[in-house]
Amino acid sequence: MPAMSVGGFVMPAADIYVQRIQWLPYLTLAECRAAGAENCEDFLARLQNRTLSLAEAPGLSPRKRHALQVALQGTDLVPPVEALALPQPTRPGLYDINEPTATSPVLVSGNSEITLTVLTAVLATTVSPFYLLLVDTLGDTLDMALIYERFTPAKIATALEAATVAAKVSHRTLVIPGLATALQEPIAAATGWEVNVGPICALELPLFFGEYWQPPLGH
């Protein structure tokens, strides 16, 4: 995100890791060539420089087209958020997104207000249900929470128990942010749950969840 001016002062914007979106694993050569591209690198470059529109990509399913559109919007989709010197905590605990059921995925992150703002904006692009578990990181964003060891396997296990997540779902699978990849096995050991590593950038979530990410009506 670009810097923002607040009261005459230029405030740096929070880094939501748009440059870390992984595109190519979600595309097939057939999909890219159906749009007239030589390969998927060419297809992606043309989408990003706007010499090709998603409407000109007949090989994509409607849901993949929507997922790509969300990711391509980048920071335009997310309300401006400042990179604050002090943590901005929001309520930790379990959040219900789109009336989740026993089979809904469980996303895990920290209780930064920035994190919740970004995730809420992205989750607003689907009607698919999720549980969102925010661990108490004292308001640190995930990158800082990892540095200060406030997003830990023990804290995740405590948060799962406090929110009685096991009683709400029929599976035992968590999705953690890509920045926490190194904690995948320790979290699994501490919780007894299977742990899948999601994307680093929240804007990649629609691509990560694929056909499960159902767009709202009219999209």
pLDDT per position as a tens digit, 99-137: 999 999 999 999 999 999 999 999 999 999 999 999 999
Task: Give residue 156's identity as a one-letter amino acid code.
Answer: I
Supply the range of the domain harboring residue 180.
93-209
More confident residue, 18 or 217: 18
**Torsion 176-187-98-100 (CA) sign:** positive
SS3 for 43-64, per residue? HHHHHHCCCCCHHHCCCCCHHH
Q: Is residue 168, in this structure, part of any structural domain at all?
A: yes
Q: So what's the pLDDT on residue 12? A: 62
| CATH number of the domain enclosing 201 | 3.40.50.11600
In the chain, how many domains are there? Answer: 1
Residue 13 lies in a domain: no
137 part of a folded domain: yes
Evaluate whether residue 82 is within a structural domain. no
Where does 43-187 show beta strands of DSSP type E? 93-97, 106-110, 130-135, 173-176
Q: Quick check: is 112 in a domain?
A: yes
CA atoms of 59 and 172, how far apart (whole Å): 34
Instruction: For residue 130, tell me if it sits in a domain.
Output: yes
Decide if 139 is inside a domain. yes
